[in-house]
Amino acid sequence: MYNLNRHTRGTRAGPESERKGAKKGMKDFSGYMKQGRRGHLIGVGGVSMSPLAEVLTGMGLVIRGSDMRDGENVARLRDRGIEVRIGHRAENITSDLDFVVRTAAVHDDNPEVAAAHSLGIPVFERTEAWGAIMRDYPRSVCISGTHGKTTTTSMLTHILMAAELDPTVMIGGTLPLLHAGHRVGKGDTIVLEACEYCNSFLNFYPTIAVILDIEADHLDFFKDLEDIQRSFRQFASQVPPDGTLVVNLEDKATMEAVAGLDRKLLTFGLTDRADVYAENIRSLGTQTEFDILYRGELFVRAAIHVPGIHNVKNALAACAAAICLGCNPLAVKYGLAGFTGAGRRFEFKGKYNGADVYDDYAHHPGELAALLDAVSGLGYKRIVTVFQPHTYSRTKALFADFVEQLRRPDMTILAEIYVARETNTVGISSRDIAAEIPNSLYFDSFEEILKTLRLAAAPGDLILTVGAGDIYKVGEALVAGEK
């Protein structure tokens, strides 16, 4: 349970007149973190919204929510006594609510947001709520970047657990160690994955901010790379003067974004010009061993059970943040050794006809490149990639880069673009990508993809289901032998 002694809170919400007054007067979510306050979360089944519902409930608030579909997170929330309604409807918003929380992807035309506005109920973005929660922690770590956030946050969580710091954590995916994407600890440290989309992470005020990399993405919101860099610079500037920025020395866009900021920098990378760097890297199948050096001195020899040089860099970032928190070398060693991956990050699903089936969340060309680089040296006879693009705007903006990466596998199958938060105003389809890749295949249904995989799978193959949508269902159905 959340430690209510951390905060100054009333024992229960006041009368209706008090709550109405609060609705009109309060702009800061921290004013609502009191026992008995009533809140509604739109999209409560999401990876960051479901833990928020649990944390707020643990504080003594009365939380309910809505989502567009049932799922594992929704089932877990109901098991914990949290009411979840399926579908977004105006009638889900009632006058007894003190506040509503939404994700950045839920806009003002959502019927529940519109109903809240009409009733004078304040609507907060989820990061405003997480930002209010994190302010009370003396040590708050936010891990940002275009790629690698979930993996790095998960690695750092393993390290902090090994260091017995009892952290509070919010991750954008499931971590087997936690059997969830979050935990609520009693320590003085909170770690959150921080996403730049819609400038959401500007609601966070970390004492340690990690920037893994900056690339062009979310171009349905940002104008271009420079616009994204400006957002990251603002995020970095919110670190207090006595805080630390942990940054990727080898990422040009990141170093440009933080140039000239009056903040302490701790850099990481694969070069000895960085403060925290790796040497003597050795790959053994899906395991990678390497020395971690800190300012020229051996800190620890580490091993991670996930492949790829990108994961070495993620581990270096996690180690650098851990150093800022005073963790000793053994905590880093044992923490990283216990990390075997996060949910949907090169996650082993099983076997079919002698082929290994893995799933990965990669949905940007840079992530595809890192994934394919990582698996190319694992000794498989063929790499079969089933890719589901995520959002029309990203597919359109990065079309040539997607084509370049998807030409690399021995066999590429394209599923239709995952609808996510958009409508197809740009007139694009996965069929267009397939037309640029010789011998690739495009199917508009998972059933056809499954039929093809059952015929194609052979011993020695690696089958990857890749994307941020629901393409993982194809791999799960394949290994389960479903028809």
Cα within 13 Å of Cα(447), Cβ side: 1
Over range 377-384, report the average pLDDT: 95
**Averaged pLDDT for residues 320-326:** 98
Topology agreement, domain 4-126 and domain 137-337: no
Q: pLDDT higher for 45 or 482?
A: 45
Query: Mean pLDDT throughout 193-205?
Result: 92
Residue 169 pLDDT > 50: yes
What's the confidence (pLDDT) of residue 285? 86
Residue 53 above 50 pLDDT? yes
- Would you state the pLDDT for residue 318? 98
pLDDT of residue 482: 60
Average pLDDT over all residues of the chain:
91
Widest Cα–Cα separation across the chain: 69
Instruction: Just list the catalytic residues.
Output: 149-150, 193
Instruction: Say yes or no to pLDDT of 7 above 90.
Output: no
Between 297 and 15, where is the model more confident? 297
The predicted-structure confidence for 450-463, as pLDDT tens digits, reads as follows 999 999 999 999 99
- Residue 3: the pLDDT is 43
Instruction: Tell whether the model's pLDDT for residue 14 goes beyond 60.
Output: no
Per-residue confidence (pLDDT) for residue 341, from 0 to 100: 86
User: Homologous superfamily of 4-126 in CATH?
Assistant: NAD(P)-binding Rossmann-like Domain (3.40.50.720)
Q: Is the pLDDT of residue 340 over 50?
A: yes
Tokens of 428: 């694009």
Helix axes 446-456, 472-480, angle to 10 degrees: 50
Residue 18 binned pLDDT confidence (cut-offs 50, 70, 90): very low
With the CA atoms of 12, 15, 17 and 18 taken in that order, what torsion angle do they form, in degrees rounded to the nearest 10?
Answer: -20
The third-level CATH classification (topology) of the domain covering 137-337 is: UDP-N-acetylmuramoyl-L-alanine:D-glutamate ligase (3.40.1190)
Q: What is the mean pLDDT of residues 320-348?
A: 95
- The answer to whether residue 17 scores a pLDDT higher than 60 is no
Q: Residue ranges of the domains in the chain? A: 4-126, 137-337, 347-480
What's the CA gap between 337 and 354, in Å, rounded? 28
Separation between Cα atoms, residue 386 and residue 388, nearest integer Å: 7
Q: Which of 3-7, 167-171, 239-243, 245-249 has the lowest mean pLDDT?
A: 3-7
In contact, 261 and 281? CB cutoff 8 Å: no
| CATH class of the structural domain 347-480 | alpha beta
Instruction: Report the pLDDT value the prediction gives residue 20, as an integer from 0 to 100.
Output: 38
What's the pLDDT tens digit per position in 209-241? 999 999 999 988 999 999 999 999 999 999 999
Dump pLDDT digits (tens) for 79-119: 999 999 999 999 999 999 999 999 877 889 999 999 999 99
Q: What is the pTM of this model?
A: 0.82
